[in-house]
Amino acid sequence: MLKGVERFDLKKPVGRQHLRGLMWLLCAPSLVTHQNRLTKVRMDGIKPPYLLLCNHNAFMDFKVATRAVFPHRANYVVAIDGFIGREWLLRLIGCICKRKFTKDVTLVRQLRRVVERGDIAAIYPEARYSLCVTTACLPASLGKLAKLLGVPVVTLICHGHHVNSPFWNLPDHKVRGTEATMTCLFTADKVQQTPHEAITAAIEQAFVYDDFQWQKEKGIEIPYKDRAKGLHKVLYQCAACEAEYRMRSEGTRLFCDACGASWEMTTLGELQRVDGDTRFSHIPDWYEWERTNVRREVEAGTYQFSCDTHVDALPNARRFIPIGKATLTHNMQGFRLQGNDGEEDYDLTWSPASLYSCHIEYDYLGKHGDCVDLNTPTDTLYIYPEGEVFSVTKLALATEELHNHAMRQKQEK
18: phi then psi, degrees, rounded to nearest 5: -115, 175
Task: State whether 166 and 252 are in the same domain.
Answer: no
Phi, psi torsion values for 182, nearest 5 degrees: -105, 120
Q: Which domain holds residue 134?
A: 20-218
CA–CA separation, 150 and 43 (whole Å): 17
CA distance 46 to 19: 23
Task: Let me know whether 79 and 203 are in one domain.
Answer: yes
Q: Looking at residue 389, what is its pLDDT? A: 94
Same domain (yes/no): 115, 258:
no
Last residue of a domain, one of 218, 249, 276: 218
Give the pLDDT of the chain (413 residues) as one tens digit per residue: 888 899 999 999 999 999 999 999 999 999 999 999 999 999 999 999 999 999 999 999 999 999 999 999 999 999 999 999 999 999 999 999 999 999 889 999 999 999 999 999 999 999 888 998 888 889 999 999 999 999 999 999 999 999 999 999 999 999 999 999 999 999 999 999 999 999 999 999 999 999 999 999 999 999 999 999 999 999 999 999 999 999 999 999 999 999 999 999 999 999 999 989 999 999 999 999 999 999 999 999 999 999 999 999 999 999 999 999 999 999 999 999 999 998 999 999 999 999 999 999 999 988 889 999 999 999 999 999 999 899 999 999 999 999 999 999 988 87
CA distance 144 to 149: 9
Peptide bond into 71 cis (omega under 30): yes
What is the per-residue pLDDT for 136?
83
64 in any annotated domain: yes
Domain end position, chosen among 298, 320, 336: 298
Tell me the CATH number at 188.
Answer: 3.40.1130.10
> β-strand 96-98 against 74-79: which pairing, if any?
parallel
Number of domains in the chain: 3
Beta strands 120-123 and 50-54: pairing type?
parallel
Q: Are 83 and 103 in contact (CB under 8 A)?
A: no
Peptide bond into 166 cis (omega under 30): no
Residues 164 and 195 in one domain: yes
Q: Where a domain ends, among 265, 283, 298? A: 298
Other C-beta atoms lying within 10 Å of the C-beta of residue 127: 20
| pLDDT at residue 137, as a whole number | 87
What 3 state SS string does 349-387 have? EECHHHCCCCEEECCHHHCCCCEEEEECCCCEEEEEECC
One domain for residues 119 and 192: yes
Whole-prediction pTM value? 0.95
Nearest to 123 by CA among 102, 95, 148, 147: 95
Nearest-angstrom CA–CA distance, 226 and 171: 9
SS3 label, residue 96: strand
Q: Looking at residue 135, what is its pLDDT?
A: 82
Residues 261 and 321 in one domain: no
In a domain, 56, yes or no: yes
Is residue 230 within 8 Å of 362, Cβ to Cβ? yes
Confirm whether 2 is domain-assigned: no
Cα–Cα distance, 246 to 230 (Å, whole number): 13
134 occurs within a structural domain: yes
What is the DSSP annotation of 273-298? ESSS--S--SHHHHHHHHHHHHHHHH
> CA-to-CA distance for 149 and 121, rounded, in angstroms?
10
Domain membership flag for residue 372: yes
Backbone φ and ψ of 115, nearest 5°: -75, -30
The reply to whether 350 falls in a domain is: yes
* Pair (291, 160) in one structural domain: no
pLDDT for 363: 95
Q: Assess if residue 371 is contained within a domain.
A: yes
Report the distance separating Cα 102 and Cα 370, nearest Å: 21
Cα–chain-centroid distance for residue 189? 31
Distance between CA atoms of 393 and 4, rounded to whole angstroms?
A: 34
Same domain as 390, residue 319: yes
Same domain, 174 and 161: yes
Residues 191 and 247 in one domain: no
Predicted local distance difference test score (pLDDT) of residue 100? 93
Residues 95 and 175 in one domain: yes
Is 12 contained in some domain?
Answer: no
Instruction: Answer yes or no: do 313 and 285 share one domain.
Output: no
100 vs 82: CA distance, rounded Å: 12
Alpha-carbon distance of 325 to 308, in angstroms, equals 7
CA-nearest of 149, 287, 141, 151 to 203 is: 141
Residue type, 15: G
